[in-house]
Amino acid sequence: MIKPHGSEQLNALYVDDEGQRQALLSEAEQLPSLLLSSAAAANAVMLGAGYFNPLTGYMNLNDAFSVAETLHTVEGLFWPVPILNLTDQTGIEAGSRIALRDPNVEGNPIIAVMDVDAVESVSEAQLDMMAEKIFRTLDPEHPGVATFKSQGRTVISGPIQVLSFSYFQSQFPETFRTAVQIRNDIAAAGWEKVVAFQTRNPMHRAHEELCRMAMEDLNADGILIHMLLGKLKPGDIPADVRDASIRKMVDVYFPPNTVMITGYGFDMLYAGPREAVLHAVFRQNCGCTHLIVGRDHAGVGDYYGGFDAQTIFDEEVPDDALDLEIYRADHTAYSKKLNRVVMMRDAPDHSKDDFVLLSGTAVREMLGKGIKPPMEFSRPEVAQILMDYYQANA
């Protein structure tokens, strides 16, 4: 199986041993507490689950600057996005041991214990520098920029021991999986070549066929459909609805034992190209050999070019940085000539009128009115689940 990023073995920071975990929880109740931001809590979940291997905790300011500027830590580890614990809370001191509390669960239970290496102030100009590099914009309307700049001006860094996976395990017991679990499942299935498909949306016909194309083109053993389960921007479809629609699509339209449906506990960054590279890092940690990167991967609005998330792998990612490879997807659409979904680059004899093209806005309007999108766009079983959701929330 493909090696994890940056190490021979996966270094998940979740404390598996029940006795040790209970002892740490008891200790943590006596420690000073820090209520995390949702973004920092999601980072803790990803560290605990092994997705952010080989990191051992939150980055300090020098590493954060270095990653933002060069895609490497000060010591030279390739990494695309700073993994930070930003806060406005005062009273935390370097050298202390603290309990980290979960903002997303009632009662703010302890999610991790942290040994504080450094407590550093970050200026507005420094936040702007990092945001500009990560998101390629400082527009306050960009949801990622808005979140990044609202968390606080103090960086608290150091190693952590993770004691909980927040709400993800309880709310999505059939879907949430750690990188450790996914690697074990891939090994048990005997898969060697595995293609990951990232999604924060329901999967329509184009997405379904894209998975099928990648699997066939690469002669892969299986597809990992890996959905984001954390916080999204307003208007995005909730995780439970996406989960139900994806499971229905796979049950009806894919052969048995060719797809793993899984999810991970992270808040969407909407960082476009940089987030695509982060997706590649943690899919390698899952044991995947390939990641599908399509049009406007991890993008939002019109902040990124259609294929910037592909070209970053050519222009900024060193050849030896990752073992995982990307599968480059073009615009996909339903061909009236061929009666199937195709990548538009593979149909040079087609005109625009030969394709069925629907915008996401048009489809959402149809669903909200109780009109099923055409079968060329969405499987009827999937459309029904989405239509029920939109009508219930109209």
Tens digits of residue pLDDT in 175-203: 999 999 999 999 999 999 999 999 988 88
327 and 181 within one domain: yes
Question: Which residue among 169, 188, 203 closes a domain?
Answer: 169
Catalytic residue among 108, 201, 212, 328: 201
Residue 2 lies in a domain: no
136 and 206 within one domain: no
- Give residues with Cβ within 8 angstroms of 369, minimum separation 6: none
Average confidence score pLDDT of the chain = 93
- pLDDT tens-digit series, residues 314-365: 999 999 999 999 999 988 778 888 888 888 888 888 888 888 876 666 777 7
- pLDDT confidence of 58, banded at 50, 70, 90? very high
For 143, other C-beta atoms within 10 Å of its C-beta total: 19
Q: What distance in Å separates the CA atoms of residue 252 and residue 327, rounded to the nearest whole number?
A: 25
Least confident of 50-59, 69-78, 106-115, 349-358: 349-358
Q: Active-site residue 184, yes or no?
A: no
Secondary structure (3-state) at 93:
coil
- pLDDT tens-digit series, residues 258-301: 999 999 999 999 999 999 999 999 999 999 999 999 988 999 99
Catalytic residue among 200, 205, 274, 283: 200
pLDDT value for 129: 98
Q: Active-site residue 201, yes or no?
A: yes
Q: Which of 5, 116, 20, 115 is nearest to 50 (CA)?
A: 5
Number of separate domains in the chain: 2
- pLDDT confidence of 98, banded at 50, 70, 90? very high
CATH of the domain at 195: 3.40.50.620
Residue 84 lies in a domain: yes
**Per-residue DSSP letters for 209-274?**
HHHHHHHHHHT-SEEEEEEE-S---TTSPPHHHHHHHHHHHHHHHS-TTSEEEEEE-------THH
Mean pLDDT score, 2-28: 97
221 and 368 within one domain: yes
Residue 26 lies in a domain: yes
Find out whether 299 and 272 touch, Cβ atoms under 8 Å: yes
Q: Which of 178, 152, 146 is nearest to 44 (CA)?
A: 178
Least confident of 217-221, 358-362, 380-384: 358-362
Sign of the C-alpha dihedral, residues 264, 269, 272, 278? negative
225 and 156 within one domain: no
Mean pLDDT score, 133-147: 97
96 and 184 within one domain: no
324 and 201 within one domain: yes
160 and 254 within one domain: no
Question: Which residue among 169, 192, 214 closes a domain?
Answer: 169
153 and 71 within one domain: yes
369 and 286 within one domain: yes
269 and 243 within one domain: yes
Residue 4 lies in a domain: no
Question: Which residue among 128, 149, 169 closes a domain?
Answer: 169
Q: Residue 162: is its pLDDT beyond 70?
A: yes
Q: Which two tokens stand for residue 58?
A: 């939150």
Could you give the percent of the chain with pLDDT greater than 70? Answer: 99
Mean pLDDT score, 211-239: 91
CATH of the domain at 32: 3.10.400.10
Residue 7 lies in a domain: no
Task: Quote the domain boundaries for residue 81.
Answer: 18-169
pLDDT value for 346: 81
Strand-pairing partners, residue 222, are 194
Higher pLDDT, 357 or 17: 17
Q: Residue 207: is its pLDDT beyond 80?
A: yes
Q: Which two tokens stand for residue 63?
A: 């590493």
Q: Which of 136, 142, 157, 162 is nearest to 25 (CA)?
A: 162
Q: Give the containing element (helix H, strand E) for 33.
A: strand 33-35
Burial class (CB in 10 A: 0-12, 13-18, 19+), 154: middle
Residue 9 lies in a domain: no
pLDDT value for 339: 84
218 and 343 within one domain: yes
pLDDT value for 357: 75
pTM, two decimal places: 0.94
Residue 11 lies in a domain: no
Could you give the percent of the chain with pLDDT greater than 90? Answer: 78
83 and 34 within one domain: yes
Q: Give the containing element (helix H, strand E) for 311.
A: helix 308-315
